[in-house]
Amino acid sequence: MTRVNLALLILIACVASLPLFGGAYALRVGTIACMYAIFALSWNIVGGFAGYPSFATAAFFGFGAYATGILLNKGVPLSVAVIGSLVMCFLLATALGTVLLRLRGHYFAIASLSLVEVFRELVNNATDLTGGGMGLNIPLASGSGILADATFFFYAMWGLLLITAVVVMIVSASKLGFGLNCIRQNETASNMVGLNSTLYKSVAFGLSACFVGTAGGIYAAWVHYIDPSDVFDILYSVKPIVMALMGGLGSPLGVVCGAFVYLGLEEVVWRNYIQIHSGVLGVLIIMLLLFLPHGLISLRSGMFWRKAKHV
Amino acid sequence: MLAVQVLINALVLGCLYACIAIGFSLVWGVLNVINLIHGSFIVLGAYLAWSAYQWLGISPWYTLVIAAPLFFAFGYLLQQLLLNRVISAPVLVTLTLTFGLDLILNNAMIYYFKADYRKLTLSPPTGSISLFDVVVPVDRLIATASALALTGLLYLLLRRSKVGRAIVAVRLDRDAAVLMGVDVKSIYAIAFGLGAALAGCAGVLMALIFPISPLTSSAYLGKAFVVCVLGGLGSVSGALAGGLLLALVEGIGSTLIGPAHATTLSFVLLIIFLVVRPQGLLGRKGFE
């Protein structure tokens, strides 16, 4: 276990103590913080490790939300529904990955972006199953009071974040992570030396989708109502990229920090400038790209504590 | 007769789609940047036409002449001041930068024009032509003709003028163009300006036909994507072919299985093309 991974686990553990300090608002922000951190960590598998600019986060978030919502409406218990959507998301994403990941660069970005549109239109038109544009009501999970419910969903999301973080650490230390790094650096060359890059990329895509889908399921059960324009919002695809850029591409600790910082900024902007919040977000993105292209994690090495370089 | 009507509609719509996509295709082909702000440029052009007509009484045909230089200047400055700084960065960076710009522009439009749908209605309505059983509205016909004219103009510019040849040279081989004494950064800015000008003009034409709202920008962007991939990147004829194919598929699809599935159909077509023929209908293989 490296020092960076330990720092990440400690950071996540600190988040768990949030309900001790605040009321319902802290719980809501905490749940969203965990959700964003899951997005950023998941995106990092395919975007940071393998270097494929994926815009498919919103597609799998919405897919997971709808899968869980429909299962819950059919009377399936929450835990089974959530695990079911995790498995479905993984299988679907791996299957789609074998096709889509043959594309590189811009073309992959566009294909993954269009995946969101396709899923949204499909859900919009399958009115019998999903309620279409009217949205889907999801039965209340338990009748044990608002605050108890909020605490439950906070810990559910937090638990998922912990699982995601552990899986990402295992992946980054494993042969899979090594292979993905090779693919990012030079895919043709890694193919040449006998790496099954299609398999590696597809598994990475599946892993990056399944936790996002599960988060979508928990989100759906949490807010009790979903509709296509809400859960298939393209911003869900873009935000993880901004978080990862903010924190530092490829580093799990960096992207989680990025997610938390991003959420903090979003809350402040949203609260003070509701009418122009997306414009402010745009300015923020541009500033970030122009002045801090390697993210917050890059601040560490040069500025705060200087280490003697081994020659 | 229904078949002929569908065909005519597709032809009319296809030229407009080509006009939407051509600036996007130019920027993508020459700069290797996916310009996510393109949809918002189109909507801004539509608002320009709407406000010029509503407040000053200027007819959209004249607005077309005003819009082109305005948008060219806007695009040129944007490229010179912002995009040229990160132009050599990976795909993700330029993509995210244009996304940020799009957020700002779109938010500004929602702020000033509100999100209500508006419609530009010419006050003596132009009516429609009916030939046998086929009906075509005149304003749509004029918009199509203007779109074709714009496309032709760009083609001539790229073929005949010195700047146009330089743009094509940068697109073919950047490094060789540098060695031949082409100022690549300024060509980038000109190409981006041209893309913006075409988007603005397309927006003016769209204002005649479709309702205007900042929320429609992503739909235009989606169309531009699909047309580019279907037709092939960077070439004028490719955008035209892609636009016609998309309009045809959408038209036939909505007639046969209902308009609700038209968007899905076009994106499924996009994914099939990306996997089977990523260079597009008229693109050349191994040419990036």
Phi, psi for B283 (deg, rounded to 5) = -75, 165
Residues of A in contact with B225 (CB under 8 A): 110, 113-114
pLDDT on residue A300: 58
**Contacts with B, A 75-134, CB within 8 Å:** 99-100, 102-103, 105-107, 109-111, 113-115, 117-118, 121-122, 124-125
pLDDT of B106-159, one tens digit each? 999 988 888 888 888 877 777 777 777 778 888 888 888 999 999 899 989 988
pLDDT of B7-35, one tens digit each? 888 888 899 899 889 999 889 888 888 88
pLDDT on residue B216: 86
**Residue type at position A250:** G
Q: Distance between CA B207 and CA A187 in Å, rounded?
A: 45
The beta-carbon neighbor of B96 closest among A103, A276, A289 is: A289
* Interface pTM, i.e. ipTM: 0.78
Residues of B in contact with A109 (CB under 8 A): 34, 91, 95
Cβ distance B104 to A283 less than 8 Å, yes or no, reads: yes
pLDDT of A117-139, one tens digit each? 888 888 888 888 888 778 888 87
Residue A53's closest CA among A104, A119, A115?
A104
Hey, which bits of chain A come out as E strands?
136-137, 225-226
The beta-carbon neighbor of B34 closest among A109, A122, A279 is: A109
pLDDT on residue A91: 93
Q: With left for phi above 0 and alpha for psi between -120 and 50, is residue B121 left, alpha or beta?
A: beta
Q: Distance between CA A208 and CA B80 in Å, rounded?
A: 37
For chain B, the structural domain boundaries read 2-114+137-276
**Residue type at position A137:** N
pTM of the prediction?
0.84
Q: For each of chain B's 288 residues, which pLDDT tens digit applies?
A: 778 888 888 888 899 899 889 999 889 888 888 888 999 999 999 999 999 998 888 888 888 888 999 999 999 999 988 888 888 877 778 888 888 899 899 999 988 888 888 888 877 777 777 777 778 888 888 888 999 999 899 989 988 899 889 988 888 888 888 898 888 889 999 999 999 999 999 999 999 888 999 888 888 888 888 888 888 776 788 888 889 988 988 888 888 887 777 777 877 788 788 777 777 776 654 443
Listing DSSP states for chain B in one string gives -HHHHHHHHHHHHHHHHHHHHHHHHHHHHHH----TTHHHHHHHHHHHHHHIIIII---HHHHHHHHHHHHHHHHHHHHHHTGGGSTTS-HHHHHHHHHHHHHHHHHHHHHHH-S--B----SS---EEEETTEEEEHHHHHHHHHHHHHHHHHHHHHHHSHHHHHHHHHHH-HHHHHHTT--HHHHHHHHHHHHHHHHHHHHHHHHHHS-B-GGGHHHHHHHHHHHHHHH-SS-HHHHHHHHHHHHHHHHHHHHHH-GGGHHHHHHHHHHHHHHH-TT-SSPPTT--
Residue ranges in chain A whose pLDDT is less than 50: 304-307, 309, 311
Of how many residues is chain A composed?
A: 311
Residues of B in contact with A99 (CB under 8 A): 271, 275
Q: How far is A169 from chain B (nearest CA, A)?
A: 24
Cβ distance B267 to A117 less than 8 Å, yes or no, reads: yes
The beta-carbon neighbor of B101 closest among A117, A125, A282 is: A282
Quick check: helix, strand or coil at residue B37? Answer: coil
Average pLDDT, chain B: 85
Q: Which helix (H) or strand (E) holds B102?
A: helix B91-113
Is the domain B2-114+137-276 a CATH 1.10.3470 member? yes
